[in-house]
Amino acid sequence: MQLNGSQIVIECLKEQGVDTVFGYPGGAILNIYDELYRHQDEIRHILTSHEQGASHAADGYARATGKVGVCMATSGPGATNLVTGIATAYMDSVPMVAITCNVGISLLGKDSFQEIDIAGVAMPITKYSFIVKDVKDLAPTLRRAFSIARSGRPGPVLVDIVKSATSDVTEYTKENPVIEESSNDRLSEENVQKAIELIQTAKKPMIFVGGGAVISGAQEELKEFAKKVDAPVTDSLMGKGAFDGTDERYVGMLGMHGTKTANLSLMESDLLIVVGSRFSDRVAANPKTFAQNAKIIQIDIDEAEINKNVAVDISLIGDVRKVLTVLNQRLDSLSHTDWMQEVAERKVEVPLNYNHDVLTGPYIIEKLDEITNGEAIIATEVGQHQMWAAQYYKYKHPRTLLTSGGLGTMGYGLGAAIGAKTAYPDKVVVNIAGDGCFRMNMNEIATATRSNIPVIELVFNNHVLGMVRQWQTLFYGERYSHTVLNDKVDFVKLAEAMGAKAYRITKKEEVEPILKEAIALGEPVVIDCIIDSDDKVFPMVAPGKNLDDAFDEQDLLNQK
């Protein structure tokens, strides 16, 4: 049938099973928005307050569902406003298709109004970046974009369409999407056998879980594997929920703000099995001494991650779930009773701890975990509150923590929460933010109220840039250069002005009733939680130090 380019865009979205897009219209993309209006019963469009909010919402939708998230923006500044969200998705391997429109073909390359080479701008932060100049190329390009976004190691793809291609007409034939199953073609049989031999002879094995286990949906295979190996399990920030955080084998997060149990145990282990993690500097602060007493087996779908940050002994290249399936089939059940007992005792000796006498971020998160029974979807911004959310909420399931791990994007969480709540309207969705992060994209509260998306925005308000201040306290001689936010902004009034219900918490006794009421309301809520400016995230490993150099507040006091 003969369709114009805008009709083809909508038909291709429907082909791919897209039911929700997030975006902001403008002149160059008006033809597509006009067609979107005609299909609003089939594809829901969430109008965000800023294009960055649209990209984060598409990201949150994708992380929560495992499907490809879609965002749209017009040319020029509309497109460039997507860039931070695209980079966020790229760093964390999130499948996303960003659709932008550019000036007409006759105006391209002439520095026309709102013209920019967004395909060139986005090239380093996408899996692929397209510009469509001919309507005949539009359907094949969109289909390829979705395929690239979700195949192998997922990631964002940009499709920029010149305006003339959205109005030109060509022949369109519907196609069913081809979902490519990942294969284990690159999995070496020799390396599988070597890995099994290492696992069978290890006395103190440990399993380290990263975001690849979440992406591959490997939670059941991972649970079976941990039981067969009889090993403690730790995770990265991105790996949260791939292994049940309430399981007795779980020892907490690894790395800069990991638990002492996880960090100390790793440095004692003789075999580290890495499941879908890339050894970022937040985990391996000192790559030369990381797990120095252990052999390392790394399972990853991306061969480029092998030996990139930490040298490993054996690599198993392939989809994590499929690789674990192979290992589970070959392995007999092992027993490491003494090692597991040693780790269990360490969990008791060096637990996570905070001041229970006053209102703190950890206390609020523990209460939230208790009230929601660990079943909520938690989004976060970036900073102290993010680490507390990783430490004190017990993630039982994958895709329940949405956080910017690689890029560390302040302003990410609220948009992501909106995306997740759009996908799962019956689930409790909470964004945990600091006051500095909330300021970045707080205008998305208006998006939540406009579209009646009942997210809960939990702001840990310490009137400072908390994590930066923590570093200034510990490493910069308490020189608080431009990190104090002690101004006159009232978040409760601000939230109410945007149409949300708002509360303020100043003491522990208020936490439980207000959280319960906020969850029961079923409307957008902002909760302003006043905590101390000098609360810190502990334990901590200083940059460049070994994991067994982790220190907490008591260690600092003992040094004085």
What are the residue numbers of the active site? 51, 113-114, 163, 467
**Whole-angstrom distance, CA of residue 158 vs CA of residue 78:** 13
Strand order in the sheet with 456-461: 401-402, 377-380, 429-434, 456-461, 525-530, 501-505
**Whole-angstrom distance, CA of residue 23 vs CA of residue 55:** 8
Q: Write the CB contacts of 300 (distance below 8 Å, at least 6 apart in sequence).
A: 212, 274, 276, 277, 278, 306, 315, 316, 317, 320
Which residue, 258, 264, 322, 267, is CA-closest to 294? Answer: 267
CA dihedral 72, 73, 79, 80 (to 10 degrees): -90
Give the DSSP letter of residue 180.
P
Q: Write the CB contacts of 384 (distance below 8 Å, at least 6 apart in sequence).
A: 361, 434, 460, 462, 466, 467, 470, 535, 536, 537
CB 333 within 8 A of CB 313: no
H or E segment and range at residue 215: helix 211-216
**Whole-angstrom distance, CA of residue 285 vs CA of residue 544:** 5
Angle (deg, nearest 10), helices 361-372 and 511-521: 50
Residue carrying the six token digits 């949906």: 217
**Whole-angstrom distance, CA of residue 340 vs CA of residue 247:** 13
Indicate the burial class of 259 (C-beta count within 10 angstroms; 0-12, 13-18, 19 or more).
buried
* Residue 508 neighbours by CB distance under 10 Å: 15
Give the helix ranges, DSSP H, for 67-117: 77-80, 83-91
Q: What secondary structure does DSSP assign to 427-469, as a single string? A: S-EEEEEEHHHHHHHTTHHHHHHHTT---EEEEEE-SB-HHHH
Alpha carbon distance, N-terminus to C-terminus of the chain = 79
